[in-house]
Structures are given as structure tokens and as C-alpha cells.
């Protein structure tokens, strides 16, 4: 019985120590992240996002113009021809 109690105490102490160690590591990483003043290229990322949004909008507008002027009238005419079959 004494062995069981001792083993339980050792496991509990090990678990507590592991939890404390993980909490310390988390606190250290958090402190390092909060005190880091490098910015990691925040302005570069913002410019890249803006450029990608503008290019995406231009591509979407171009595709809309192509589909609206070229594809849709052709499809509409083909559908009309298909239903006006005199056959």
C-alpha cells in the first residue's frame, strides 16, 4: 500500500512539474513575442495584399467583359437556333 501511495505522489509531482514547465515556456514565448519589435515586414505584407486585391479585381472585370460581350450572345443565339428548329 505504501508503494501505491508513493507512486501516486511521484506521478502527481511529475505532472505538476511538467505543467509548471509548460507554463513557464508559454510565458517565455509570449514575453518574447510581445517584446519583439522587428515587425516582420508588416508593411510588405500589406502592400502585397493590396496588389493582389487590385490584380484580382482587374482580372475579374476582364473576365466579366469577355463573358458578357463574347460568350453570352453566342450562347443565346445557339439556344434560339436550337429551339427554332424547323426540322
Q: Residue 80 is placed in which grid cell?
A: 434560339
Residues 6+ apart with CB under 8 A from 33: none
Query: Tens digits of per-residue pLDDT, 68-81?
Result: 887 777 888 888 88
Distance CA 15, CA 21 (A): 10
Whole-structure pTM over 0.85, yes or no? no
- Which of 22-26, 27-31, 78-82 is the least confident region? 78-82
Higher pLDDT among residues 67 and 52, named by residue: 52
Tell me the CA distances in angstroms from 49 to 20, 57, 63, one per residue in order. Answer: 40, 12, 21
Amino acid at each position: 500500500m505504501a508503494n501505491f501511495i508513493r507512486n501516486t505522489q511521484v506521478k502527481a509531482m511529475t505532472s505538476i512539474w511538467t505543467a509548471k514547465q509548460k507554463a513557464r515556456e508559454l510565458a517565455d514565448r509570449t514575453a518574447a513575442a510581445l517584446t519583439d519589435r522587428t515587425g516582420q515586414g508588416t508593411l510588405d505584407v500589406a502592400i502585397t495584399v493590396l496588389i493582389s486585391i487590385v490584380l484580382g479585381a482587374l482580372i475579374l472585370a476582364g473576365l466579366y467583359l469577355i463573358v458578357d460581350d463574347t460568350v453570352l450572345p453566342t450562347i443565346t443565339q445557339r439556344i434560339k437556333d436550337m429551339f427554332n428548329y424547323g426540322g
